[in-house]
Structure 1
């Protein structure tokens, strides 16, 4: 002991080192620790393997006759029905029409929700004026508003876009307001110190600071927009995946119904993965 410090015995050092090695988790067990990192290739392998396992189990159960094909067809029957629909029912064109409708309504909702949400969070009087009405409307069920939308807009394309917008805008505007609320006040104070105006603080400071979480929220609400597609496309529609699904349901063609549903899921999954890849590339510092 020198001046209050204890110098460990050299003999104890190997034991300490060995104990640390014993406490270190293995590569396999470490992946199951709370919030442990998972190598990206392993994540893709696990995702593909689990999806194949689910489909194989589904096919096996259907082939054993444990389900009724009319209500729960096998994945192979759904895939065959999808192939027939692509070749004889112009399924690719219907998917394109639905994609345009969803993206049109979603972009309209985003263009409106981003400035309104930022204003609600940045200026307290705006938030106090708008938040009660937005909270009220976002709890209204969209299917219940279908008759009103027909009265207001008729049975044309405007009604479909309105219903998709309605299911997206009021959720998104509150998420944008929350993103704006999380921007630290120190950012604004620093901007004002160097002579920035309010408009510059909003555009160059707040918007850039909230951009990573904003893109994540846009990705989530795009998925919500797709969930309202069937509701929007049963309103006097003659095109779109919702129309295809609804027409097949009328004749109890369950494989075709599920083929349309699966195609919506595939388009949504592909879009989501693309947006996630863009997010990772754009914000590598996170």
Structure 2
């Protein structure tokens, strides 16, 4: 059962991998707890996991953490879905028609290298301090990365598939729907999973802009009063959400694309 773990690219069961992951996490927490309680780490900078757990429970029971988590999740998924609806057709057009790619790729490459925090003042000028600014910042951190992923996925569709379809009489619509989209679907789902994770990394930036709700607001408020356990607890919540979401999307990928 465990011998395959040391063989290059060998397959192992999901149970074995989950067990190893849980043991590794437990070992890390044990080392962290021991170092914190032994005085090797200042609790002001890195409190013990037990203190973080207590702070997390306090946030859930006394500060409506679950409500704020739901608000952040709604913002992230809203911005991500808007980005995906826009990025998928634009990315497909960029790689399918060279004139579209030549017109849009330089702009996309330029914007995706701009740091999102540097655009916070502009976003406030454009949209004010309401919900639109938060959605815009989350969208900004996702859209331009995803559109290039989609374009690359479309470029990787083998020309042989397209040529065979045309030989069999398929028109451009059939080639796009029945050949190109089906061929790129597995990698497209993977790239959407990756960019969703990036969208979550911008939630703190989006929720420090005159926010009164969300995980970012909780973390930023705790930072102001140097409540390190609460800050780490908020970060842990984001990490757990990301872990669960990522595993669910991986499971969907395995079930939908069993033939891979």
How has the CA–CA distance of structure 1 residues 93 and 30 changed in structure 2, closer, same or farther, with 3 Å as cutoff?
A: closer
Partner of 1:108: 82
Given candidates 66, 72, 81, the residue that maps to 1:98 is 72
1:182 matches 2:153:
no
Aligned to 1:275: 249
Q: In the aligned structure 2, how far is the partner of 1:238 from the partner of 1:134?
A: 32
Normalised by the size of structure 2, how large is the TM-score? 0.98
Q: Is the 2:4–2:12 Cα contact (8 Å) retained in structure 1?
A: no
Shift of 1:203: 1.8
| Distance across 1 between alignment mates of 2:10 and 2:167 | 41
Counterpart for residue 135 of structure 1? 109
Q: Which structure: larger Rg?
A: 1
Per-residue CA deviation, residues 253-286 of structure 1 (Å, 9 max, x unaligned), is 0000100000000011000000000001111110
Cα contact 2:84–2:143 (8 A) shared by 1? yes
**Runs of 4+ in structure 1 over 4 Å off:** 27-30
Q: How many residues are treated as equivalent by the alignment? A: 260
* Whole-angstrom CA distance in 2 between matches of 1:114 and 1:29: 42
Partner of 1:252: 226
User: What residue is the counterpart of 1:36 in the other structure?
Assistant: 10
SS state at 1:38 partner? coil
Aligned to 2:235: 261
State whether structure 2 residue 85 is matched by structure 1 residue 84: no
| Partner deviation per Cα, 1:199-242 (whole Å, 9 max, x = no partner) | 22112211111000000000000000000000000000000000
Q: What RMSD over aligned residues (CA atoms) do the two structures have, in Å?
A: 1.0
> Match for 2:92 among 118, 126, 129?
118
The whole-number CA distance in structure 1 between the counterparts of 2:2 and 2:60 is 44
Structure 1: segments with no counterpart, 5+ residues:
1-26
Residue 36 of structure 2 corresponds to which residue in structure 1?
Answer: 62
Which one is further off, 138-147 or 33-42?
A: 33-42
Name whichever of 190-199 and 263-272 sits farther off.
190-199
Indicate which of 171, 178, 193 corresponds to 1:219.
Answer: 193
Distance between the aligned counterparts of 1:237 and 1:253, measured in 2? 19
Give the 3-state SS of the residue equivalent to 1:31 in structure 2.
Answer: helix
Partner of 1:205: 179
Contact 2:95 2:152 in 1 (8 A): yes
